[in-house]
Structure 1
């Protein structure tokens, strides 16, 4: 009977998704699969994607009333 590949799962959760250990261990398998993009046809947004969006759509500077 095969088991889980814990090193790969931990690396994916901690490094890939940026979860803290307690957050990783609190997830159900269904929640973890959802975070990995299971069923959506798309992978979750990674840091590089977020950086690209931030550059494309920067936050507007606040206008201060004097």
Structure 2
């Protein structure tokens, strides 16, 4: 496993934990398809994020 993959996987695990309230073992036992299905919008349309939502996320989660 490369360091880049490990870093990205850890970051995704943290995001799923915050967004879905999952403990780490739920993330590691899930498949990418399961996570995608859970995060998909109910109408089947691709989920979108607005600039305002990104700005709020950045405000709520500052880097250092």
Higher helix residue share? 2
Higher relative contact order (CA 8 A, sep 6+): 1
Q: Which has the larger radius of gyration?
A: 1
Give the alignment's TM-score, normalised by structure 2. Answer: 0.48
